Structure 1
Amino acid sequence: MSVTAPAPAASADPPSDSAASPPRSRPWRAHLTVAVIALALAVYVTSGLWRAPYQHVLSDNVGDQAWFEWLLGYGVYMLSNGANPYFTDMMNAPLGVNLAANTSITVYSVLFAPLTHVAGPQVTFVTILTLNLAGSAFAWYLFFRRWLAVSPIAAGLAGLFCGFAPGFVSHANGHLNWSAGWVAPFVLWRVMKLREEGRWLRNGLLLGVCLAVGFSIAPEGLFFTAIASGVFIAVWSFAKAVKHEAIAAVRTVLKALGVAATVAGALLAYPLYMHFAGPQSFSGTGFNQRYFVEDVAAYLAFPSRSVAALFGLGSELGPNRTEETSFFGVPLLILMLVAFVILWRRAEPGRRATLRAVGVTGAVFLVLSWGPRLNWMGAELPIPLPYAALAYVPLFDSALPLRFALALVGVFGILLAFLVDDLLRGRETKNTRIGLWAAIAVSLIPIFPLPVRVQDRATEPDFIANGTWQQYVTEGGVLTALPFALNVHADGQRWQAYTMARGGAQFRIPDGYFLGPMTTGEEGRKEMGRIGAPPLSTDWLFTRAALYGYVPRLTNADRERARSDLAYWDVEAIFLADEITGSDHKILFREAVKTAAIQLFGEPERVDDVLLWRIRPGVDPVSK
């Protein structure tokens, strides 16, 4: 089946239009060429991490890299100890963290556990990030080659655009979920196969498995893919040219969807229960949906990590550098509009049905990406938008509106593939071809990516690396670094991840960077989400000291609150390393942290390369 062919029989696969059909021989040379180019570009984008994976960290998103490194370390711990993949008490003592309600990347943490155990979460992180980018480009290439029936060059160029579009390069700043752009074409491939007569059982089974895998890696992206599939199929099916074909396929598709729902439901029953009703679950998200929206002007701008930015044309219209989800630039937007008009004018009825569905899908996601209120040049305007009615609808309430812009990458990729294929087939005059090729170059060169930014990270102290900590903490006891782990100072979380990856004795930590409920209320109580644990007076004191160098004159009342907080967390020992890491090259005020700790806990002892405070000196240490 091809959605581009003029209404072939429902079982026709490949399309019956011989002019649009790819060669019958398997184009291994083209496949290999695109794969090598995609991998080379992915290594180039992540080169800063590859140069020193143990010393470098993504400066634009230290916290998310720490979170995913922690998940990778937890994967080793989970397999070694039979731990729950969807809930853990290793972090946020004593309440724990609902991993199903976060992005747990369970498939990745299990598959890459051997590499994590041998090389550490740092190497596994950059390996997955690189494969995500390369795999996304290659998956889109295969999708365009197979389902759009375009030439290898057209599919390759469009695939590379999708894999390294500004939005996905920005998400390479720490997001192993959103950089997995291959999930969308992977799932769409299986959706397109549902029409095959006589294969509804197999296709439904495979789609169900794909949905389970996609949910484990990128649940929000899977949600967007489902919406895009539904909008596209609905619009395409009502086109007059293909209406009879759509009607003929209804029974087959419904049976396949029933199988897919059954399989996915069985595989995801427990994680979905944990996500929506498990301990430490929450509603909504920890991020402001009126802040994380796409500024309309951002579509016209260039991203901060692009060739255009080298010439001062980058923009700061995104909420942060990880969420530059559109930033296509004026030339590309004009090209896409021109391409749509050109393709529409020459299209047969079957292809027009596809173009209409692609255009409507893009328009829907464009408007959704603007969020509840229209934003222009950094200012929110009093103009309500459709998302205002969706903001409290389940699933939509857990999504960030600006990320809907990522779906336009696939829409633009389809138009680019069609346009390049037409140019290669000589369907335009010579002058028009020259002009369009120049327009493609002018559109794509400015958004060609630069490598993601990195900075030095504090290396793991010998106190942790050598296992000295075991002399001061019980098995499974609570140990914390200063400042307490949070997204803007995540050292303690990273160092725990490295310990879990090595196996053996483990410690737990209070706080951490994750999404959880607003308060420390009773488990099972449904609350709005927030970033990290609700701060108590003690961890907030150290956060202020680290970020701002602010240390008030502490009193006995402060010390009493600290004793109460430490008892709540059941902390047995606290340490301060010689070096601590901030985000975006920001300096953390270590001396302020040290001063606050001495005022609260007294003078520390020097153990290996850290300052140590024994909170419960009478505990039996881990036996060695």
Structure 2
Amino acid sequence: MTTPAGPVELSVVVPAYNEEHRLAPTLDAIRAHLGDSCAWELIVVDDGSDDETVRVAKEAAARDARIQVVVSDVNRGKGHALRLGVLASYGRRVLITDADLATPIEELDRLDKAMTEGETAAAIGSRAHPDARIEVHQSRLREYLGRMGNRLIRAVAVPGVHDTQCGFKLFDGEKARAAFADARLDGWGIDVEILQFFRRRGWAVAEVPVRWSHQEGSKVGAADYGRVLWELARLKARAVRRVDLVLGALFLLTSVLLYKNLWHGLGRSYLTDSGQDQNQWEWFFAVTADNVAHLRDPLFTTVQNFPDGVNLMGNTPMLGLSVPLAPVTLAFGPSLTWALVLTLGIAATAYAWYWLFARRVSENRWAAGLGGALAAFAPPMISHGNAHPNFCVLFVLPLIIDRALRLCEGRDVRRNGIVLGLFTVYQIFLGEEVLLLATLGMALFALSYALARRDVARAAIRPLATGAAYALGVCLVLVAYPLYWQFAGAQSYHSVLHGDSAGNSPLALVEFAGRSLFGDDATADKLALNRTEQNAFYGWPLLALAFALVVRLWRRPLVKALAFTGVAAAVLSLGQKIRIPYTDVVLPGPWKLLAHKPLFESVIEGRVGMICAPVLGALIALGADRLAHSGVRLNRAAGFTAIALALLPIVPTSFPVNARPEVPEFIASGMWKKYVGPGESLVPVPLPDPGSAEALHWQTRAGLAFPVPGGYFNGPWGPDRIGIYGASPRWTSNLFGDVRSGKPIPDIGTDWQNQARADLAYWRAGVLVLEPQPRAPELYETVARLLGRPGTKVGGVWIWDVSSVR
């Protein structure tokens, strides 16, 4: 082929296979319509014809230098021919049309007008549009089968497009060449593949009604729609690129290395920094599996906090995972489920962020993978990875964000609205507080992007509102009862108060976390509530790099929105009172505006800083993508070195573990069964609470066969039903807790004994159990005085049979 002498406004690509009789009139018609201007080219691609098609095409090219001929040695299909032709084109716009001109070339003017007026990236001819004119019909059977096939293709591949297979399409030239270079299909399915590519990039496509006539001898039949579906199935099977597999494997490997100590001693290892949360979460997984196995209500149980019970919807059992994983829990125990949820969940989260960044932020998939890794393995996520899977297993959030963006683009509003609603429902059953924080982050981003691109915001309002209405409708239908139970059912509560000092210190934003490569626990402990709430700690090198990227890429609206979102989230995370480091100055924080609003009143405000993780991930993806496309080797080397130096200090280290306490023989061997009858509870001394919940592990080892009073959960306290951690205190539970904490044993007389009887009766106690522990002698003496008799040593513990006392 020869290179055009000047700029080409239009390239027309005509694929041809055994078209010796129809090709010459088609080329003459196209030349006549385009006229004598030199600003067009016509590319005929022979797809391995075994007739005189090549000769006819070359004779036409000999008469007009604007006609080019591309020849394929073998017949590989229409898709292959189109790819050759489009990649050989130079036009500002590219028209593809079939050799039979079933759609007359004059319809080009309609497509060109639609692209110009609508500012779209493509305009496709549509026979299915209500205003289309079918001048010569196919047979009724063939037409019916074709219509059904097209509907099926629309449903599974390109929703919203009425006619995917019409061979008359006009594209922006550069975008067409990018799409066809990416295409893999050689057959009829390439039309759908190209439209999917445009949808993924967010490039608008107009569907234009055209005139169409069935041509005798057409090679397209109803059966070809089946071939299209088959090709699409093959494409789906091959769609996972090598980089996708490599990144997925790297994310999983990273997660496995983080939890290698937990897996090494599975069932015997306990995450050192998880406090009592590992016991609690394993209990959540166990009780959900038990409820599923016995067809009980998964939203409530009396196995803990007996006899009042626990509102599971008002806690965080992650029903979206604990229910489908119930067979795993029942077969292998909750310790395996706990390790699986953490390990696979964080890896899946990294992949989900990578997927979103690859679709929306970065063309370079390695750059997107780097951003996804930062979003999922950032220090706050690693901190919550000690104990809070609901705050680090976030793979649904990128899916929610993507659907919301599709609505903003006006793409298939009803379908995407419904899917958004389903994703939102699923996230509710994974973690509601995370969903609230994600919504806050999305609102900050939307506000800032709207200020940067008012035209985009105006166009997005209506489809977004409509889609949100569909999503809300889905949510109301599916979660109305669970949410009613959460806020008005048994053991529901109104809010969990954390005080006004739960925000991040400004220093926490620039320091390194305890589990970061350059961090240490001593420094981080001074700046966080505890080791599971290190909600910032991004480190000064990463923040400095982010600032440099924002300055360098400031012209991009996306960067402006990301910068605003990150800064706003960081400031909100400082809480109601911002204490200026190294001074006595305390300033009011903007969180005060939200602190007492419904839903927000239960949020630990420091967690708002977690919004910065995907923001920083997106910025890093943008920066790495820009470097990957840089033509200056020195710039690439310096840029990637800066990224490496910024990320190296916050590389996470493996979670430490310690050996969990052995379950007493009295529990493990089943000796307890002689002392706990139907409707009775086993009362550990002291009662389990958020500071000491080993009794929950006893329950999971015993298959939840006995209930316990007290426990570690969120429940109501007092007439106002304020949310607290643990059970509402009683005189006897408070007494045991005081003695355990080191307070002296009070003078126990008749009043104390009568109160103990009342409390044991309330708990329907069958037996009191005191295991070896610090201050066990003082606790033994307390129980002996309350009951007026000594205990009995059975199975390595002291017990008091109290069934008769009640």
Q: Distance in 1 between matches of 2:732 and 2:527?
A: 35
Q: Distance in 2 between matches of 1:552 and 1:57?
A: 35
Matched-pair identity in %:
31
1:605 aligns with 2:788: no
Partner of 1:100: 313
Identify if the C-alpha distance between structure 1 residues 377 and 53 changes in structure 2 by more than 3 Å, giving closer, same or farther: farther
Kindly indicate whether the alpha-carbon contact (under 8 Å) linking 2:757 and 2:805 is maintained by their aligned counterparts in 1.
no
Partner of 1:592: 778
1:517 aligns with 2:716: yes
Indicate which of 462, 465, 472 corresponds to 1:254: 465
Partner of 2:706: 507
Partner of 2:418: 205
Indicate which of 252, 255, 258 corresponds to 1:39: 252
TM-score by length of 1: 0.88
Q: Please give the residue correspondences for 1:236-315 in structure 2 after superposition, counting only pairs within 5 Å.
A: 236-240=449-453, 243-288=454-499, 290-309=500-519
1:530 aligns with 2:724: yes
Indicate which of 640, 643, 662 corresponds to 1:459: 662
Indicate which of 349, 360, 368 corresponds to 1:147: 360
> Structure 1 residue 592: deviation in Å?
3.1
Kindly indicate whether the alpha-carbon contact (under 8 Å) linking 2:524 and 2:534 is maintained by their aligned counterparts in 1.
no
Q: Please give the residue correspondences for 1:373-522 in structure 2 after superposition, counting only pairs within 5 Å.
A: 373-377=577-581, 381-426=585-630, 429-500=632-703, 506-519=705-718, 521=719
Q: Distance in 2 between matches of 1:23 and 1:557?
A: 82
> Structure 1 residue 233: deviation in Å?
2.3
> Structure 1 residue 273: deviation in Å?
1.1
Kindly indicate whether the alpha-carbon contact (under 8 Å) linking 1:551 and 1:596 is maintained by their aligned counterparts in 2.
yes
- Tell me the alpha carbon deviations over residues 289-311 of structure 1, each in whole angstroms, 9 at most, x when there is no partner: x2221111100100011111269
Q: Please give the residue correspondences for 1:44-123 in structure 2 after superposition, counting only pairs within 5 Å.
A: 44-123=257-336
SS of 1:440's equivalent? helix
> Structure 1 residue 91: deviation in Å?
1.7
Q: Distance in 2 between matches of 1:141 and 1:396?
A: 29
Q: Distance in 2 between matches of 1:470 and 1:91?
A: 17
- Tell me the alpha carbon deviations over residues 423-478 of structure 1, each in whole angstroms, 9 at most, x when there is no partner: 11116x44443332222122111111112232222222333233332221123421
Identify if the C-alpha distance between structure 1 residues 9 and 321 changes in structure 2 by more than 3 Å, giving closer, same or farther: farther
SS of 1:445's equivalent? helix
Indicate which of 755, 768, 771 corresponds to 1:561: 755
Kindly indicate whether the alpha-carbon contact (under 8 Å) linking 2:374 and 2:614 is maintained by their aligned counterparts in 1.
no
Q: Distance in 2 between matches of 1:425 and 1:168?
A: 30
Structure 2 residue identity aligned to 1:353: P
Q: Distance in 1 between matches of 2:652 and 2:723?
A: 34
Partner of 1:333: 543
Partner of 2:65: none
Q: Distance in 2 between matches of 1:121 and 1:274?
A: 25
Structure 1 residue identity aligned to 2:732: T
Q: Which 10-residue stretch deviates more, 21-30 or 368-377? A: 21-30
SS of 1:574's equivalent? strand
Q: Distance in 2 between matches of 1:530 and 1:94?
A: 17
Structure 1 residue identity aligned to 2:431: A
Identify if the C-alpha distance between structure 1 residues 186 and 596 changes in structure 2 by more than 3 Å, giving closer, same or farther: farther
Kindly indicate whether the alpha-carbon contact (under 8 Å) linking 1:286 and 1:515 is maintained by their aligned counterparts in 2.
no
TM-score by length of 2: 0.69
Structure 2 residue identity aligned to 1:597: V
Aligned length in residues: 586
Structure 2: state its 5+ residue gaps: 1-117, 124-157, 159-170, 185-238
Q: Distance in 2 between matches of 1:50 and 1:179?
A: 18
Structure 2 residue identity aligned to 1:462: E
Identify if the C-alpha distance between structure 1 residues 379 and 325 changes in structure 2 by more than 3 Å, giving closer, same or farther: farther
Q: Distance in 1 between matches of 2:644 and 2:689?
A: 43
Partner of 2:188: none
- Tell me the alpha carbon deviations over residues 183-220 of structure 1, each in whole angstroms, 9 at most, x when there is no partner: 32122122122245562222111111111110111111
Q: Which has the larger radius of gyration?
A: 2
Identify if the C-alpha distance between structure 1 residues 194 and 392 changes in structure 2 by more than 3 Å, giving closer, same or farther: same
Q: Which 10-residue stretch deviates more, 160-169 or 607-616? A: 607-616
Structure 1 residue identity aligned to 2:462: R
- Tell me the alpha carbon deviations over residues 228-272 of structure 1, each in whole angstroms, 9 at most, x when there is no partner: 2223223323434xx444433433322221111000111110121
Structure 1 residue identity aligned to 2:486: H
Q: Distance in 2 between matches of 1:379 and 1:24?
A: 61
- Tell me the alpha carbon deviations over residues 18-65 of structure 1, each in whole angstroms, 9 at most, x when there is no partner: 499894563521111111111111111122211212222222223222
Structure 1: state its 5+ residue gaps: 1-6, 581-587, 620-624
Kindly indicate whether the alpha-carbon contact (under 8 Å) linking 1:373 and 1:380 is maintained by their aligned counterparts in 2.
no
> Structure 1 residue 11: deviation in Å?
9.9
Kindly indicate whether the alpha-carbon contact (under 8 Å) linking 1:150 and 1:417 is maintained by their aligned counterparts in 2.
no
> Structure 1 residue 399: deviation in Å?
0.9
> Structure 1 residue 126: deviation in Å?
1.2
Kindly indicate whether the alpha-carbon contact (under 8 Å) linking 2:320 and 2:427 is maintained by their aligned counterparts in 1.
no
Q: Distance in 2 between matches of 1:589 and 1:335?
A: 52
Q: Distance in 1 between matches of 2:245 and 2:357?
A: 16
1:343 aligns with 2:549: no
- Tell me the alpha carbon deviations over residues 594-621 of structure 1, each in whole angstroms, 9 at most, x when there is no partner: 33333333222233333221111499xx
1:570 aligns with 2:771: no
Q: Distance in 1 between matches of 2:664 and 2:676?
A: 16
SS of 1:613's equivalent? strand
> Structure 1 residue 403: deviation in Å?
0.3
SS of 1:517's equivalent? strand
Q: RMSD in angstroms over aligned alpha carbons?
A: 2.7
- Tell me the alpha carbon deviations over residues 366-407 of structure 1, each in whole angstroms, 9 at most, x when there is no partner: 121011110344988431122112111001111110000000
- Tell me the alpha carbon deviations over residues 91-112 of structure 1, each in whole angstroms, 9 at most, x when there is no partner: 2123222222221311222111
